[in-house]
Amino acid sequence: PGSQIFQEKYQLYLKSLERHKYLNSFAYSSSTSMDAHYGINQFSDLPVDEFISTYLKSYPRRYQTYVKTIKSSTSEGS
Amino acid sequence: LPLRFDWRDKNVVMRVKNQMNCGACWAFSVVGAVESAYAIKGHQPLELSVQQVIDCSYMDGGCNGGSTVSALKWLNQTQTKLVHASEYAFKAKDGFCHYFPCTEFGVSIKGYEAYDFSYCEEEMMKNLINFGPLAVIVDAVSWQDYLGGVIQHHCSSGHPNHAVLVIGYDKTGDIPYWIVQNSWGTLWGAEGYVFIKMGENICGIADFVSFPLM
């Protein structure tokens, strides 16, 4: 406590609390208890951009084809 | 289709892994799908090497990112045999590709398929049941703070950035949801899992779906 890195991490932690408040507001307004909940975890002291650049690194390539499926009338009917 | 289906009930899903600071979610997702497909074929469940895919899948960027379909394409084209995880351990960083003699035990695939099920999650359910766990690419920006429950809001499609493994679904309750295994360790989410509402392509879960053929 008192060091610069502590202060930086603490500010990030406070920001994460704001995010949790916003994200959890959907659950509180929902009628079901199954809604997702958000809070403190191992990523709470990470800036969002660092979280994205470290952990979110998969992407479909443009040239790759994903066969598009169409909803059939049978499945709609059933 | 059954109201609930979970490949963990058949003991063909390996434990939740931790990619640590290595951005190789794509490799974890693909290796998870291969491990399950191998076990579904009646073999003893095995943990296969993620590091082998990170180091050797030349169309991808190792810990700097990659694509599930590129990895499956590489596995299929080269008929690479994935060795046991203990033979080629995860180091959370890129390394040189190790080659093994043909006689070394390993698991190869017979093909792979890739689908966009964005308007047809029911078809995705059928594929999950018929072929095994599915490697998918989702938008996981809002997952930074996730602790549990079913994600139903503020998780858009159209910005794919993270690969995970769909291992089941549950439609018995008020909110039907996909059961998804992540690779951020068991301390994250619901013991390493995340649940995503079905039917609305939440997080783009049905946009980029692929799986190996064993």
Q: What is the rounded average pLDDT of the residues B49-57?
A: 98
- Please list, residue by residue across A17-47, b when 16 or more beta carbons sit within 10 angstroms of its beta carbon and e when fewer do: eebbeebbebbeebeeebbbbbeebebbbbe
Confidence of residue B132 (pLDDT cuts 50, 70, 90): very high
Is position B11 annotated as part of the catalytic site?
A: no
- CB neighbours (10 Å) of residue A6? 10
Q: How confident is the model at residue B197 (pLDDT cuts 50, 70, 90)?
A: very high
| Residue of chain A whose Cα is closest to the Cα of B60 | A58
Cβ contacts (< 8 Å) between B144 and chain A: which residues?
Answer: 16, 19, 43, 46, 48, 51
Enumerate the residues of chain A whose CB falls inside 8 A of the CB of residue B152.
Answer: 26, 30, 35-36
Of residues B119 and B146, more confidence is placed in B146
> Residue B65 CB: number of other CB atoms within 10 A?
18
B162 and A CB contact within 8 Å:
yes
Partner A, chain B 163-202, Cβ-Cβ below 8 Å: 163, 173-175, 177, 184-185, 187-188, 195
B95 backbone φψ class: left, alpha, beta (φ>0; ψ -120 to 50): beta
DSSP class of B6 = E
Q: What number is the average pLDDT over the span B186-212? A: 97
pLDDT value of position A62: 66
The dihedrals phi and psi of A38, each to the nearest 5 degrees, come to -130, 145
Per-residue confidence (pLDDT) for residue A78, from 0 to 100: 46
The strand pairing partners of B162, in sequence order, are B138
Q: Report the distance separating Cα B57 and Cα B213, nearest Å.
A: 18
**Helical ranges in A1-78 per DSSP H:** 4-29, 48-55, 73-77
Question: Shortest CB distance from B153 goes to which of A26, A39, A67?
Answer: A26
Q: Can you say whether residue B158 is alpha, beta or left, with left for phi > 0 and alpha for psi between -120 and 50 degrees?
A: left
Tokens representing B143 are: 């997952």
pLDDT at A28 over 50: yes
CB of A32 within 8 Å of any CB in chain B?
Answer: yes
A29 vs A26, residue with greater confidence = A26
Q: Is A77 on the interface with B (CB under 8 A)?
A: no
How does residue A53 score in pLDDT terms, banded at 50, 70 and 90?
very high
For B64-114, the pLDDT digits (tens) are 999 999 999 999 999 999 999 999 999 999 999 999 998 899 999 999 999
Residue B67: count of CB within 10 angstroms of its CB: 26
User: How far off is chain B from A18, nearest CA to CA, in Å?
Assistant: 11
d(CA B208, CA A64): 10
Q: Residue A77 pLDDT more than 60?
A: no
Whole-number pLDDT of residue A75: 47
Using alpha carbons only, what angle is made at residue B39 by residues B33 and B43, rounded to the nearest 5 degrees? Answer: 145
- Least confident residue range of A44-48, B14-18, B22-26: A44-48
User: Chain A closest CA to B101's CA: distance in Å?
Assistant: 30
Contacts of A40 in chain B (CB under 8 A): 145
ipTM of the complex: 0.92
- Between chains, do A68 and B116 touch, taking CB under 8 Å as contact? yes
Active-site residue among B22, B56, B182, B203? B182
Q: What is the C-alpha to C-alpha distance for residues A64 and B92, in angstroms, rounded to an integer? A: 27
Residue type, position B66, single letter: G
> Does A74 score more than 50 pLDDT?
no
